[in-house]
Amino acid sequence: MFTLEASDIIEGDASAANVVDYTINGVEYASSAYSIQALADGQLGAAKATLYTTPASTQTIVKSITLVNTDASARTVNLYLQRDGANSRRIIPEALSLAANGGSCILHGDGLQVFSATGSLLTSGDQGDTGATGAAGATGASGDTGTAGATGTAGATGIQGDTGTAGATGAAGATGTHGDTGTQGDTGVGATGATGATGVAAVSGYSITVEDPGAAEDISIGFTNRAITVTEMRAVLLGSATPSVTWTIRHYATDRSNAGNEVVTSGTTTTSVTSGSDVTGFNDATIPADSFIWLETTAQSGTVTELNITIVYSVD
């Protein structure tokens, strides 16, 4: 779930035209009135195109975007959000693959979910093919018989066979005192077949973009009805004149008005307008079921025109 201002645009495309259905549902707010409705529907084209534009003097809450592949072949899809009339930002992973004959995905308040053609939720990638079994290594040839040792004294120890191929058998000791037994030849080794590639894991996450953020923002991101664990957070800025924003993610079960628990105590300061801040260390990464999740800012400097934060999680 995310919000749009007037003239904001949702765009999309697919690897083939007119085979992937899309449906966008949400709420439009205009003239002090809310209108719950289907915002747009149709089929994706092969080139990126506008799917929905927020009308003038209107704010829109997008509740869900559903994509369904009707083709007999698997197809890849892309979705974008354009807020400034020029720059399109991705809101799902690039070239997300949908299975043939009904594979689908839903982007909503719980994040992104991907389904098989039979409607089963995909929680991990398909298993890669099993690698072929390696051929058996060749058996080493028998070692040569050692020369008989001199009578009365011990026979010399046989020469060790070559490693890898045929190991030579040590020479036998002479009759009288027993000669030493020759060293055993090495066993040939067969190569093990390569392991099949592991399938790609399904993606789950939240993403929020705040235009012209201040030093005291308090914005809801979403509500989860399942227990989740945050595995990564990444933030990036658009701006100039040494932009900087200190932000924190909070959560609390059933009560949005509570002060909440911080995923990272005291938050994170982001200054990057290129690769952003990648956060993988947490103080409270486990979010219980039926919890609200929100963004707060505590400091801002420079000229900051946009703050984007993506939260990646796994379902407990």
Query: Look-up: residue for tokens 């105590």?
Result: 265
At 177 the pLDDT is 55
At 1 the pLDDT is 72
Cα–Cα distance, 68 to 23 (Å, whole number): 9
Cα–Cα distance, 312 to 91 (Å, whole number): 13
CATH of domain 205-316: 2.60.120
Residue 131 has a CB neighbour count (10 Å cut-off) of: 12
At 151 the pLDDT is 63
Nearest CA among 135, 127, 129 for reference residue 196? 129
Query: What is the pTM assigned to this prediction?
Result: 0.41
What's 123's DSSP letter?
-
Q: Which pair of tokens denotes residue 280? A: 């993988």
At 158 the pLDDT is 59
Per-residue pLDDT of the chain (316 residues; tens, 9 = 90+): 789 999 999 999 999 999 999 999 999 999 999 999 999 999 999 999 999 999 999 999 999 999 999 999 999 999 999 998 889 999 999 999 999 999 999 999 889 999 999 999 997 554 445 546 657 657 767 767 667 657 666 657 657 657 666 556 656 556 545 446 556 556 545 455 466 565 444 458 999 999 999 999 999 999 999 999 999 999 999 999 899 999 999 999 889 999 999 999 999 999 999 999 999 999 999 999 999 999 999 999 999 999 999 999 999 9
Burial class (CB in 10 A: 0-12, 13-18, 19+), 184: middle
Q: Which pair of tokens denotes residue 50? A: 């506008």
Q: Which pair of tokens denotes residue 29? A: 């707010």
Contact predicate 26/77, CB 8 Å: no
Domain with CATH 2.60.120 in the chain: 205-316
Nearest CA among 174, 188, 175 for reference residue 142? 188
At 18 the pLDDT is 97
Residue 239 has a CB neighbour count (10 Å cut-off) of: 20
